[in-house]
Amino acid sequence: MSAQFHISSNPHVRSASSTSGIMMLVVIALLPAAGFGIYNFGARAALVLLVSIASAVLTEFLFGLYKKKLTITDLSAVVTGLLLGMNLPVTIPLWMAALGSVFAILIVKCLFGGLGQNFMNPALAARCFLVISFPKQMTDFISTGKGALDAYTGATPLALLKSGESVNVMDMIFGKTTGTIGETSMIAIVIGACILLLAGVIDLRIPGSYIVSFAVFTVIFGGHGFEPAYLSAQLAGGGLMLGAFFMATDYVTRPITVRGQYVFGIFLGIMTGIFRFFGPGAEGVSFAIVLGNLLVPLIEKATRPIPFGGKGAKRHG
Amino acid sequence: MAKLTFQGGIHPYDGKDLSKDKPITELSAGPVLVFPLSQHIGAPAKPLVQKGDYVYRGQKIAEAASFVSANIHSSVSGTVKAIEPRRVASGDQVMSIVIENDGLNQEVQYYVPQDLDNLTKEEILYCVKEAGIVGMGGAGFPTHVKLSPKEPEKIEYVIANCAECEPYLTSDYRRMLEEPEKLIGGLKIILQLFDKAQGIIAVEDNKPDCIKLLRDLTRNETRISVRALQTKYPQGGERSLIYATTGRKINSSMLPADVGCIVNNVDTIVAVERAVMEGKPLMERIVTVTGDAVKDPRNYKVPTGMSYTEILDVAGGFKSIPEKIICGGPMMGVAIFSTDIPVTKTSTALLAFTKDEVAAMEPGPCINCGRCLEVCPGRVMPSRLADAAERFDEETFLELNGMECCECGCCSFICPAKRPLTQEIKSMRKIQLAKRKK
């Protein structure tokens, strides 16, 4: 037999999972919430999402040309663009949405080495950048457009809560309120989260510890004690659900260790509570997660897994 | 009772259906046989023959060069043609005794202990050592060394590793079905060495017929029990197996004997039985020949020293041209570029795949998904270890317990970015192990 066969190190078989497959699942899981956003806020919401996705992919493509490496096929830029778009108000000027995507992809992701190397969630970092740079446009929920529900234009439920007014919790759960494009419907977000949970893309460690610790914090420090209506409004409101299931669980910027993921979730819950109840604004999810991202290396270091059978200090042979 | 298992692990496509239902076929040796002097862990054996010598089947042609080493026997009668370096599965050239088969199968007279019902421990160990038996699951650790722990009275479990968790492999399965009494007999012999020990036959639950058969046959054995393990790779890894059956944990620097266990593979135990009861040395083994490129996948009883090319010829050759040929299972086996290598004591299988699925996959950047941590039976952080290995950051590698890796391949298998994690970690481990020896 003179034929020469392939040589490579073991193992010689691989699972079917792939990076682009995972990203595709995330996109699919985001669709219910994105779709509801378009229904809620009208066609302009679709336009904002389209612009943020297109500019994210284009930025990564151009950077790929410069680096001579085609990376848009892993679909991670689509996820980032979509997530950013869902975190913007429908009234945002389109150039700002595009600028946010460029910031997310170029500054936060590509310049740090591309996929897997960024230390902050690109979409959230870009949202924080836009909130700080353009606070007026980023919190303009007053002139909500021509969606199915343009009757309730005005302040977000969380802003109403903060100023002591009452909100309709059922509307918040369905999402018939104002807010950023993708954050309003708790139901749509949870449907998407179930897709990711069932597909094994995420687990409940981070979202669970995040939501539970935030709920506990709210009961203790929220000023309303254990008041179910207030508590559920806090849980359904703002970006908490979107953040807990889709952004805090971002692989690259969450701890890889199991124990670290619980620590991370609890930290996010507490920080979100502090920002919401003691900060000047009504929101806190984005800043809590971005801040949590920065602590990931420390959390990981403190929560390294214990190897099977303990450390192999003793030597034989 | 909860299923016996361990943390981590994977469920690859098992491919066992290709070969599991066909009985073992015995092959006779070809014209030339090659016996590498190093088919085991430890010192290479010392040749006892010279070029031109006539040897008998079963004759010891090389002897253990130190305590951790093993004898080697000819599986045919014939003439020693050369003692020269030959290529083995790992790709290395190893000094080997080459024997020309005269086809007469003239056999030596085997030594059998006088009183088989009252064997002494010394007699058993002598037979095992003489027969050149080594761990036949793949590692090749000399069995007489394994059976001589420092404190034999502290051994509580003798575990027969019948998990056969490697995909595609069915040789242990066939052996258990066709010669279960030899497995049980061998285990009973080993149990005679350890007065306080219980024998455990540990079988993955994808082989219910074996479990039932062995349970029936051991119904009256007070010292032997058959345990069903959850089917999951690497259930047959020594550490996973000990944990699943006894709940005890060992790390990389411990031996099974440190937690009162002795683990032996099915084929090894059968070889012990044969060595003690018939005085026969280890000179044949069962090899699974399978894969989608093989015309007639099945198990063969093969004399050691026979070349894979000859086995493939007898097996009807290929039905399509394989891209990859693997010596051993798909998870831990070695890819070979030519089939002109001999079957050794530790050969378990020959797999031929039409497509090399690994070559078709382009590795991408790590997305930190954590799947490798989840599947790692060693509970380490494969993605971080591979990073450290890639940067040649030895300090971080050791700090992250890289030496606790058992190289099972689960991390590479599961990685969605298709990174060769196991390969990176293996290379670094090799370097570190070499440093320790100095």
**CB proximity A73 to B under 8 Å:** no
Dihedral sign from CA coordinates of B249, B254, B259, B265: positive
Query: What is the arithmetic mean of pLDDT over B292-313?
Result: 93
| Alpha-carbon span B365 to A58, nearest angstrom | 20
Tell me what pLDDT residue A314 has: 43
Task: Give the β-pairing of B60-63 and B32-36.
Answer: unpaired
Average pLDDT, chain B: 93
Query: What is the arithmetic mean of pLDDT over B69-84?
Result: 95
Query: Is the CB of residue A246 less than 8 Å from the CB of residue A122?
Result: no
Instruction: Tell whether the model's pLDDT for residue A206 goes beyond 50.
Output: yes
| Alpha-carbon span A21 to B369, nearest angstrom | 13
ipTM surpassing 0.95, yes or no? no
Q: Under an 8 A CB cutoff, do A309 and B404 touch?
A: yes
Q: What pLDDT, in 10s, does the model give residues B206-251?
A: 999 999 999 999 999 999 999 999 999 999 999 999 999 999 999 9
Instruction: Tell whether the model's pLDDT for residue B425 goes beyond 50.
Output: yes
Tell me what pLDDT residue B139 has: 81
Tell me what pLDDT residue A142 has: 56
Q: Under an 8 A CB cutoff, do B254 and A11 touch?
A: no
Tell me what pLDDT residue A153 has: 54
Q: Under an 8 A CB cutoff, do B422 and A12 touch?
A: no
Q: What is the DSSP string of A27-66?
A: HHHHHHHHHHHHHHH-HHHHHHHHHHHHHHHHHHHHHHHH
Amino acid at A25: L
Residue A6 has its nearest CB partner, among B324, B381, B414, at B324
Instruction: Tell whether the model's pLDDT for residue B306 goes beyond 50.
Output: yes
| Alpha-carbon span B233 to A280, nearest angstrom | 54
Residue A309 domain-assigned (yes or no):
no
Residue A150 domain-assigned (yes or no):
no
Report residue B171 as tokens: 């040789």
Taking the CA of residue B169 and the nearest CA in chain A, the distance in Å comes to 14
Residue labelled with tokens 């050592």: B129
Residue A137 domain-assigned (yes or no):
yes
Tell me what pLDDT residue A3 has: 59
Q: What is the 3-state secondary structure (H, E, C) of A63-87?
A: HHHHHCCCCHHHCHHHHHHHHHHHC
Under the banding of pLDDT at 50, 70 and 90, the label for residue B90 is: confident
Provide, as residue numbers in chain A, all residues whose Cβ is less than 8 Å from the Cβ of B367: 19, 22, 76, 115-116, 251-252
Tell me what pLDDT residue A151 has: 46
- Which residue in chain B is spatially nearest to A18 when comparing CA positions? B416
Instruction: Tell whether the model's pLDDT for residue A178 goes beyond 90.
Output: no
Under the banding of pLDDT at 50, 70 and 90, the label for residue A301 is: very high
Q: Name the residue among B230, B163, B241, B157 with its Cα closest to residue B4.
A: B230
Provide, as residue numbers in chain A, all residues whose Cβ is less than 8 Å from the Cβ of B315: none
Report helix angle B208-217 to B171-178, nearest 10. Answer: 30
Taking the CA of residue A299 and the nearest CA in chain B, the distance in Å comes to 15
Instruction: Tell whether the model's pLDDT for residue B312 goes beyond 50.
Output: yes
Instruction: Tell whether the model's pLDDT for residue A317 goes beyond 50.
Output: no
- Which residue in chain B is spatially nearest to A12 when comparing CA positions? B330
Check whether the bond before B234 is cis (ω within 30° of 0): yes
Under the banding of pLDDT at 50, 70 and 90, the label for residue A1 is: very low
Name the strand (E) or helix (H) holding B108: none
Supply the pTM of this predicted model: 0.91
Query: Is the CB of residue B11 less than 8 Å from the CB of residue B112?
Result: no
Q: What pLDDT, in 10s, does the model give residues B401-413?
A: 999 999 999 999 9
Instruction: Tell whether the model's pLDDT for residue B274 goes beyond 50.
Output: yes
Query: Is the CB of residue B300 less than 8 Å from the CB of residue B175?
Result: no
Query: Is the CB of residue A14 less than 8 Å from the CB of residue B411?
Result: no
Chain B contacts in chain A segment 9-28 (CB below 8 A):
9-15, 17-19, 21-22
CATH of the domain at A38: 1.10.3430
Query: Is the CB of residue B338 less than 8 Å from the CB of residue B297?
Result: no
Residue B136 burial class via C-beta count within 10 angstroms: exposed 0-12, middle 13-18, buried 19 and up: buried
Check whether the bond before A11 is cis (ω within 30° of 0): yes
Instruction: Tell whether the model's pLDDT for residue A312 goes beyond 70.
Output: no
| Alpha-carbon span A116 to B416, nearest angstrom | 13
Report residue A7 as tokens: 């040589």
Task: Give the β-pairing of B72-73 and B60-63.
Answer: antiparallel
Q: Which domain holds residue A129?
A: 19-145+157-302
Residue A22 has its nearest CB partner, among B7, B416, B426, at B416
- Which residue in chain A is spatially nearest to B400 when comparing CA positions? A304
Provide, as residue numbers in chain B, all residues whose Cβ is less than 8 Å from the Cβ of A117: 365
Residue A315 has its nearest CB partner, among B379, B412, B436, at B436
**CB proximity A312 to B under 8 Å:** yes
Q: Name the residue among B431, B408, B411 with its Cα closest to residue B419.
A: B411
Fold of B114-277: Rossmann fold (3.40.50)
Task: Give the β-pairing of B198-204 and B157-162.
Answer: parallel
Q: Name the residue among A161, A150, A118 with its Cα closest to residue A43.
A: A150
Residue A40 vs residue A147, higher pLDDT: A40
Total number of domains in chain A: 1
CB neighbours of B118 closer than 8 A, spacing ≥ 6?
none
Task: Give the β-pairing of B324-327 and B334-336.
Answer: antiparallel
Return the domain boundaries, chain B: 114-277, 371-437
Report residue B63 as tokens: 């002897």
Residue B367 has its nearest CB partner, among A4, A7, A251, at A251
Strand, helix or coil at B86? strand
